Every structure is written in C-alpha cells, then in structure tokens.
C-alpha cells in the first residue's frame, strides 16, 4: 500500500523539469532579443501563465489573448471567418492563423512579436467540430511563416490542457532552432 509520497515526489520532479524547460526557453528568448505573443483557446491562459511565472518573462512575453469562443478567434486574432464556418475552431489552419494574429494583435511600440504561439483543440469530455477529446493543434508563427503540430492526447480535461502547455513550450524551443531565428 502506498502512502502517496511517491506520487507527490514524482509530481514534484515533473514540475521541476517543466519549470527548467520553461525557464530555459524564456532565457533563450531574452538572450536573442525576441518577443513572444500567445493566443489560447483550450488552455484558457495556462500557457501564458506558465511563461509569465518565470522571472524575467516581461522582457520577452508581450501578452496573451484567450479567445475561447469561436467568434473571438476571428474578431481578436483575424482567423478567417470562412475557415471557422467551414472547419470549426479545431483545425491546424486555425492554429496557424491564431499564432500569426497574436503577433500583430499584441504588437508593442509598433513592432509585431517575432514569435506567436497558439493552442486550439478539444479538452473534452465531449467532441467538438467532429473531433474527439484530446485532438489539439499548436500553431507557431515566426519570420519563416506558420506551422501547426497535431497532438492526440489522452486523459481528463486537466491532463490534456497541462500536456498541451508542455508541448507548446517544446514547439517554441524547436522554433528557436530554425535558421532565421538563430543569433
């Protein structure tokens, strides 16, 4: 029988590893002088909170937009209304357009953020737009254009949202390896 201490220790280790990964990302963005804009749907602000909890994040994070309602993706982030009508909010092109739109919507001093990151998907428990729970798209926008990564995650709402945040941080790290962002 377990007293639960093992689970607590494991959760602490996972949290510490995630914190190190996020802190490393924020430090690298700062070192390169890059600014980041965040657009979120299913994560509801968790990604921005994860980034902003790191000391020094104000040097790199312009801000975040939580566009949970589908019409706000168009109104605040410029996602194509036709795309949303045809495909719904859970689509790779929606994630790409959200990331691009965040860069412009969260410009500071007339300067778009160099990077945009976006999350959209189905946390569950019910399907959305014909997609099952756990279907997630992480969109990234940078100087070379936009891309979206499809994730198929499992677990409850909290687990899907937490894993989406972790994977989004990893996608940002991968984006920093692209040629145009190396400095």
Helix, strand and coil percent figures for the chain, each rounded to 5:
50, 20, 30
pLDDT in tens, 143-173: 989 999 999 999 999 999 999 999 999 999 9
The count of residues in the chain is 183
Give 60-74 pLDDT, tens digit per residue: 999 999 999 999 999
What CATH superfamily classification does 5-181 receive?
CinA-like (3.90.950.20)
- Number of other residues whose CB lies within 10 A of the CB of residue 70: 19
Residues of the chain with pLDDT > 90: what percent?
A: 85
């Amino acid at each position: 029988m377990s007293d639960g201490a093992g689970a607590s220790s494991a959760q602490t280790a996972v949290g510490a590893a995630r914190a190190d990964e996020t802190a490393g990302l924020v430090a690298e963005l700062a070192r390169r002088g890059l600014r980041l804009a965040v657009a979120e749907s299913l994560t509801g602000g968790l990604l921005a909170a994860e980034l902003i909890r790191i000391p020094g994040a104000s040097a790199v994070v312009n801000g975040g937009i939580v566009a949970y309602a589908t019409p706000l993706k168009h109104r605040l982030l410029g996602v194509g209304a036709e795309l949303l009508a045809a495909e719904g909010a859970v689509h790779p092109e929606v994630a790409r357009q959200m990331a691009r739109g965040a860069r412009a919507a969260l410009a500071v001093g007339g300067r778009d953020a160099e990077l945009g990151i976006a999350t959209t998907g189905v946390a569950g428990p019910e399907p959305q737009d014909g997609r099952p729970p756990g279907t997630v798209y992480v969109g990234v926008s940078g100087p070379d254009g936009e891309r979206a990564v499809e994730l198929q995650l499992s677990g409850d709402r909290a687990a899907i949202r937490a894993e989406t945040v972790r994977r989004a941080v990893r996608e940002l790290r991968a984006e920093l390896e692209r040629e145009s962002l190396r400095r």
